Amino acid sequence: MPDVLVLVDHDGEHVHKTTYELLTAARRLGEPAAVVVGTPGTAARLEASLARHGARSVYAAESAEVDEFLGTPAVDALERAAGEASPAAVLVSATTDGKEVAGRLAARLDTGLLIDAVDVDSSRVVTQVVFGGSYTVRSQVTHGMPVITLRPGSFEAEECPVRAEVKELALPPAAPTSCARVTARRGAIAGDRPELTEAAVVVSGGRGVGGAEGFSVVEDLADALGGAVGASRAAVDAGYYPHQYQVGQTGKSVSPQLYIALGISGAIQHLAGMQTSRTIVAVNKDPEAPILDLADYGVVGDLFAVAPELTRQVAARRAAD
């Protein structure tokens, strides 16, 4: 079977859950081959977990300078791995960085690009949600092998233990004058909460939260459920919560097992980023709010009464267990 290249998302010590989802999807198309881009020694630390999830090959694209440049090392690594493996496809997580890498790679390889897929079958036909979530389409490239970005949460990560072969992949020298350089990094403020795009549970607040202080209700429920906190564009634009937690067409796309929307009306922009969630619960005082039409469970009521009670009930059940 042909190789399927998977770009590994990691923090240098641990593989992100989205990569395991990509490896699971890759097995539908061929033999998963993980591409690790990092500083020297990174691939060795990640090899065991990648092999446990089905990566038969691990390409180690390592350099002491790799963290100094934005996107380019990953594009270089995938281009060189594609030259060696002649893969059936390349899979990248549909994050902001992943979409940039995928687009640049497709341009370099002069091949087809499929963005924001939520499913892929053995014939390399992908399912996408397009036009702000208004339509579901099936797409296939007509030129070259596909470069596919897969929306986080679209696949359940499944273990498939194999023996991995590590292959060294030399990166070309960086060209500082033509590459975007990272000059500073800001730490996330999520604390112990899971990363938004990887969380099994997401609790989001909207304009109905009323202000930055109102987000404590959202955070309390998220913490009780062991989930991540999100925000609608309206809440972010109003300054209630930082932009990095925005869920929607111009924010992050999420597909958790459970999505709880507190005080979110359900504008198309927001629905486009969360409508593929497995179960959706909405709390809104407006019975005509569009999000109630999408929700699996809707509560018409004051979120400041409903959410704290739900938090107490969840905490009580966890304590009883």
Query: Which segments are annotated as binding site for FAD?
Result: 207, 232-233, 246-250, 263-270, 284
- Continuous segment of H or E residues that includes residue 319: helix 303-320
C-alpha–C-alpha distance, residues 65 and 21, integer Å? 28
Query: How are strands ordered across the β-sheet holding 57-62?
Result: 135-139, 126-130, 113-120, 147-150, 89-93, 3-7, 31-38, 57-62, 165-168
Collect all residues with Cβ–Cβ distance below 8 Å to 99 and sequence separation of at least 6.
92, 115, 116, 149
259 SS3 class? strand
Contact by Cβ (8 Å): 272, 195:
no
- Phi/psi at 273 (nearest 5 deg)? -100, -5
Q: Please state the φ and ψ torsions of residue 40, each to the nearest 5 degrees.
A: -50, 135
Q: In a 3-state reduction of DSSP, which class is residue 236?
A: helix
Residue carrying structure tokens 């958790």: 256
Q: Which residues are annotated as a binding site?
A: 207, 232-233, 246-250, 263-270, 284
Q: Name the phi and psi angles at 115, rounded to 5.
A: -100, 145
